[in-house]
Each structure stands twice: as structure tokens, then as C-alpha cells.
Amino acid sequence: MKVRILIIDDDPQYHKLLARHIKSEWADAEVRSIRKTDQSADGPLIPEGVNASDYNAVLLDRAPSGKDGLKSLREFKRRPGFPPVIFIIDRGNELLAVEAVKAGAEDYLLREEINHDRFIASLRSAIRKHKRTSALLSRRQALDEACRFGAVKIRGHRFIRELGSGGISSVYLAEGDKVKGLVVLKVFRLVPEILEAQNSFDRFIQEYELISRIEHPNIVRIFDLGVADDHVYITMEYFKEGSLRAEMNQALPAATALDYLRQIADALMAIHDVGILHRDLKPANVMFREDRSIVLIDFGLAKQMTLDQEITGSGEIFGTPYYMSPEQGHAGQVDERSDIYSVGVMAFEMLSGEKPFTADTPMAVIYKHSNTPLPRLGGALAEFQELLDKMLAKDPHDRFQSAEELLAYLDSQWPRR
């Protein structure tokens, strides 16, 4: 690597002398001088356009351009990546040299008497130090960049790629230091700008607080909640096998659909038992582990059934219209039977390969959930009609009243093997 030295001193003849010493050791060295004529009266010691970090070492006079060299030295040492400084003093100012070394100078140089060997040894030491510092700084910058997720730096995690982004949060794939392998980071803006964002933030915090204390094979594992800059983030399990959505381009074998339905109902029973509603059940929120077991994710719309309605506000609609219960679609009071309805829509789609209700607009879909009779299944699928009728009844009182009741029905009609 080419040696580059920066000299800050007002004497052009002295510059030439220093340059001769330097080039006798490194013939291709680049030596740049900064003198009083290069600076404005009140401007910085190093003029704009000169990047000191591009140099291996700086030779600094004790009083360049009439300024306090020791004060300048202290200011330089506060700059990240600033190269080592060799302080130039006059004979008789040895106490100043001691102060300079205390302030961070690599060494000092007597103006009237340059000992070539000592001078070159000091420069070599400075160059080695600069290389080490630059390498560490580059590594630190690379690590900082690796742990950047959008506008947020989250230490202990390394960015892989963005998985998705919405109005209130962004989702990333990352490597974590605490958890072996890949994890998912869901990052949420901590400082809401409007009331709607505050409500979303409250629901986001609930996602961690409510779900993280549930240990169940069919519920996502949440590893951590943290705050970085002005953002909150959740670290959770990553599912490389993807979601149920990818498998539902056509009807599934009945045995497979029943197995998935049992696992989803099992997870629902666990969350309902502790007073949590999911409220956004859909194929994209049903993931697969490597053993092809089912896992529920994304409880961003979950709420405790014991909480009052203030958090969601009056008349707000959350969820996905294709999988939304009639009462949820009309912003009515919801309970665990609403989640059962959403699972019923998925069960219909898994068995038939089609959604029970479709339309050109979300509101038209919501209308059909409330007013259009459930399509009838024919042929071999007719044996599942009663199951679907009891999951997809318009009136919640006509549905299965709990996930436990749904599981009992499944076991009575299609016993586990």
C-alpha cells in the first residue's frame, strides 16, 4: 500500500526536508503539505476537501498558522478514523512534547534536529497503527451496516433480506447472535405520529406480551423484544418451508386437510385458554416447520378478550375479508367463535380448492359472509358439509362454541390414527 503523509506546518523549506527523509525510505510516498496560505483566517486547520483519514500519518506543528497545535491535536483525536499524529516541537519545549503524547500523539519530532532513524521508526509505528485502526474501523462499519434494518440499527442481528413491509411495521430475515440460525425481525415505529399508529403500536406490544408466554408446538416461538433507536422490534422463529398459502392453489387430500385443521384448532385452544383472540387467521399466517407441522404466526391483531374495546376503537375493522367472520366484518363484538369461522373458511378452501365467498370488492365479500348461503360440497366431499356448516354458521351461536368442541367433533367423526 502506498504511504501517504500529511504535513501541517507553515515553513515550506521544512516541508521539503521532511519529504526528503520520507522519500528516502518510501520512494513512491505521497507527501502533502498544508500551510497558512491554504487556510482562511477563521477556517479549520485542515481545509475543506482534504480528508485526513486518507493519510497514514499527520505531522503537526505546535503552532500551525498561529493556532494552538495541542488544542488541534485533541480535536483531531476525537475524530473517528483520524490517523496517528507526530507532534513537531522546538528545542526546549520538551514539556509540550509530554503534553502532546498524553493528548494522544504517536510521538514528537524536534524541528531543529531530525534523527532520520528515529523519525522513520516513528513513522513506521504510526503507519502500522493506522492500518490496524483502519481495519478495525472498516470492520465496525461493516458490522454497523450488516445490523441495519431499514433506518434502524439492531445490534446482535445481521440483515439478510426484507420479507415484507406495511404501514406500521417491516419484517426482515436476519441472523441472530442469541438464537442459532435464522430469525425473523418484525420492526415497528415506536413514536406514533397519529392516534391510529398509537392503537397499532398497542396491538404490536400485545403480540409479544401475550404470545411469548405460550409454549405450544403449533404456535410461533418469540425470542425477544427490544428497542433500537426509536423503534421496537420482535425476534421470532423463521419458517423456511413457507406458508399454507403456497399449498392451497388446489384442493388438498382430505386426510391432509383434516390433519392441518386439527393442528390449527389445537393452537386455537391454547390461545383461547389464556384469553387471546387471533383475529387474522388466513393461510399466509399458517406456517410449516421442517417436519411439516403447522404453526400459527402474526398475532399483530390479537387481543385479550378481557380488554375493553378502547384499544381497537369503535367501528374499526381488522383482518382479511376472505377469511373474516360476519360479526368481525361488520365491526361487531367478536369472541373465539370468530376465529373458528376464519378457520372454517380455510378448511373449505383446503377441501374444495376454492374460497366459499368471492367478489370484486372487500365490502362485497363481507356482505356475502353475512348474507349468502354457504356453497354445498358434492361427491366425496359431502361428508364434510356438516363440519363446515358448524364452523361457518352466520350466527355465532350456531357454530362450534370453542376450539375444544371442534376438536372433539373431529375426533368423533374422523378418529386419529
By annotation, the residues acting in catalysis are 280
**What stretch of H or E contains 161?**
strand 157-165
CA distance 408 to 274: 20
Longest dimension (CA), the chain: 106
Q: Decide: helix, strand or coil at residue 364.
A: helix
Pairing, β 152-153 against β 148-149 = antiparallel
**Residue 409 near residue 400, CB atoms below 8 Å:** yes
Q: Which three cell numbers stand for residue 350?
A: 383446503
Q: Which three cell numbers stand for residue 10?
A: 507553515
Residues whose CB is less than 8 angstroms from the CB of residue 291 and which lie 6 or more positions away in sequence, other chains included = none
CA distance 135 to 110: 31
CA distance 297 to 220: 5
CA distance 86 to 13: 18
Q: Which three cell numbers stand for residue 386?
A: 356438516
CA distance 397 to 333: 13
CA distance 5 to 83: 10
CA-based R_g, the chain, Å: 34
Query: Among candidates 397, 378, 399, 380, which has minimal Cα distance to 388?
Result: 399
CA distance 248 to 355: 10
**What stretch of H or E contains 20?**
helix 12-25
End-to-end CA distance of the chain: 71
**Residue 248 near residue 239, CB atoms below 8 Å:** no
CA distance 149 to 175: 12
CA distance 404 to 350: 21
Q: Which amino acid is at 380?
A: A
